[in-house]
Structure 1
Amino acid sequence: MPNILIERCFDTIDLLAAEAKSLRLEDIAERLDLPTTAVRRFLSVLCLVGWLEQDSQTGFYRLTLRLAVLAQRLLSATKTPDICQFIVNRLAQDSQELVRVASVQENGLAWIADAQGAKAGLIYEPETTAEVPLQVTADGKAWLATLTTGAAVKAVLKNGFGDPDSHGPNAVQTIEAVLDGLEVTREQGWALAVEEAEPGVVSIAAAIRPNGGLPVGTVSVAGPSLRLSGERILEISRLISIAADDLAAFWPLRHSPYYCNSVRMIAFEPRSAIGS
């Protein structure tokens, strides 16, 4: 029973984190498919230990900032943002578009670093989310392409296809279409998503694979389809491949001052990406 309670508590935290808003007791119970009386008990526990808070006027439940604080503390301890940011900034400057890095989690990807390279004209600024939609983003495709077919299918099904209206016009809605796209990604070594996550947006990504092994994350460039097409996509894919190799060279992350200083030196060293 205690193990079940712990599992239900984490299910609740996951639900409220995904929704990023307050929910009624009845809504939480319905989403978790549990009796209201049982849900009320572990909501009280989560409020008691500081993970949730209940609005005194509406009675709705929401996450406190404790989860966000712990996540930031973990990233800070691993030096992930510091190390990634130098390479991300360089790629943003070279591509003149939005650059993001995602880290592999248990069942998918989560954004951990970004930089905006566009200075004028159309500037792509997506909504801030934690999890990366797998089948409609170049990042998701780049990661899925490194998995076995069975593992990729399992990951997609677990994350779900989502509401078609919330994605772009070219969003895939079948496992068969996903697998066909992954074959293309494996052959060319980088992933492409054209108006799949959002209308009018193109993204290109590559997996970060230390020593060519298991992926630890992805790096991507995204921007308006008016700028990202034809030869420009191939040019960006070469820039991304360089960034992915550089990020892979610094993974797993270390904590020594010398290591962090060496990262800064290498990241700022001028490097010709096109034609090198």
Structure 2
Amino acid sequence: MAGSLLRRVLDLVELLANHPRGLPLQAIAETLDIPKSGAHRLLAELAEHAYAVQDAETGRYLLTTRFATLGLKHLSRTGVVDIAQAVLNRLADLSGELARLAVVDYPRLVWVAKAQGARTGLRYDGDMGAEARLSTTSTGIAWLASLSDEEALELVMRQGLATGESGPNAPRTVAELMALVNQARARGYAWVQETNTAGAAAMAANVLHPQTGRAVGNLSVAGPSLRLTEAQRDAIAPDLLAAAAELSSVGAFSEYLGALGGRARASRPAMS
């Protein structure tokens, strides 16, 4: 019973996290398939401890910043962002585009830090804490390329292939997806154009655990496709790979990320 209650609370938190403007009680109960009275009790408990609040005007329930504060506090104390930020800043300056760090929190891949290198003109940006879509982002493709085909497809099927919100070049079939994955394996980093977002291109290289060789995260560079062309990609690639190798060599960094991804099955040899 306790486990069931905890599961309901976690489902509720995840639901509200995906709706920053909040949701009415009825919608919450229907989405979670629980009685309205039960949903109200859970929300009241969260509100009592300042993790949720009800908007006085709309009646909608939404999360407070307390969960975000806990997450940021946790990341800051692991040292992951502190270690990576200098590398991200340098990569952003060298590329002139958005540089991001994603970490494997198996079976999820989550962006946790970034640096913006674009100073003028079009700028591509992204939300931190968001889960990467594996089949359409360079970040996702890079990670899939480090896994066996079986495990890669299992993870993609968990999320689903491209949605209507994906870019025009998003892979719509397993064959199209695996073509991108195999290109990443051959190249040593992933490269996509307008697969996740129309008008955007991106590239990503894995950060590897120094002992196991398993990908524990990756670094990516993303920007407008008009500026981040194939020629620019080729110019940036050495810096991206060097930055990923630098983070791979940092023991404390890899130790924490390796523990996050510790539930992963044995993976195929990493991209070289």
Seen in structure 2, the aligned counterparts of structure 1 residues 173 and 248 have a Cα distance that, compared at 3 Å, is same
Paired residues, what number?
Answer: 254
Q: Report if the CA contact (8 A) 2:247-2:253 is conserved.
A: no
2-side partners of 1:106 and 1:127: how far apart? Answer: 19
User: Per-residue deviation at 1:15?
Assistant: 1.3
Q: Which residue of 2 aligns with 1:98?
A: 98
Alignment of 1:160-239 (within 5 A): 160-161=160-161, 163-164=163-164, 166-211=165-210, 213-239=213-239
User: Per-residue deviation at 1:228?
Assistant: 1.9
Instruction: Return 120-129 or 53-62, whichever deviates more.
Output: 120-129
1-side partners of 2:157 and 2:68: how far apart? Answer: 27
User: Per-residue deviation at 1:127?
Assistant: 5.2
Q: Report if the CA contact (8 A) 1:78-1:254 is conserved.
A: no
1:68 aligns with 2:68: yes
1-side partners of 2:219 and 2:18: how far apart? Answer: 23
User: Per-residue deviation at 1:145?
Assistant: 1.5
Cα-to-partner distance string for 1:82-106 (whole Å, 9 max, x where unaligned): 1111111111111111111111113
SS at structure 2 position matched to 1:246: helix
1:122 aligns with 2:122: yes
Seen in structure 2, the aligned counterparts of structure 1 residues 85 and 46 have a Cα distance that, compared at 3 Å, is same
Seen in structure 2, the aligned counterparts of structure 1 residues 98 and 40 have a Cα distance that, compared at 3 Å, is same
Q: Report if the CA contact (8 A) 2:209-2:254 is conserved.
A: no
Structure 1, unpaired ranges of 5+: 256-276
Q: Report if the CA contact (8 A) 2:162-2:171 is conserved.
A: no
Cα-to-partner distance string for 1:138-166 (whole Å, 9 max, x where unaligned): 011111211222322222222234631x2
| Equivalent residue letter for 2:193 | V
Instruction: Return 133-142 or 118-127, whichever deviates more.
Output: 118-127
Q: Report if the CA contact (8 A) 1:136-1:197 is conserved.
A: yes
Q: Which residue of 2 aligns with 1:30?
A: 30
SS at structure 2 position matched to 1:158: helix
Q: What is the root-mean-square deviation of aligned Cα atoms in Å?
A: 2.0
1:108 aligns with 2:108: yes
SS at structure 1 position matched to 2:215: coil
Structure 2, unpaired ranges of 5+: 256-272
2-side partners of 1:179 and 1:173: how far apart? Answer: 11
User: Per-residue deviation at 1:75?
Assistant: 1.1
Seen in structure 2, the aligned counterparts of structure 1 residues 28 and 154 have a Cα distance that, compared at 3 Å, is farther
| Equivalent residue letter for 1:146 | S
1:143 aligns with 2:143: yes
1-side partners of 2:45 and 2:111: how far apart? Answer: 30
| Equivalent residue letter for 1:170 | N
Q: Report if the CA contact (8 A) 1:5-1:42 is conserved.
A: no
SS at structure 1 position matched to 2:122: coil
Seen in structure 2, the aligned counterparts of structure 1 residues 19 and 160 have a Cα distance that, compared at 3 Å, is farther
Seen in structure 2, the aligned counterparts of structure 1 residues 33 and 148 have a Cα distance that, compared at 3 Å, is farther
User: Per-residue deviation at 1:129?
Assistant: 5.6
Cα-to-partner distance string for 1:55-101 (whole Å, 9 max, x where unaligned): 23322111111111101111110112211111111111111111111
Instruction: Return 172-181 or 182-191, whichever deviates more.
Output: 172-181
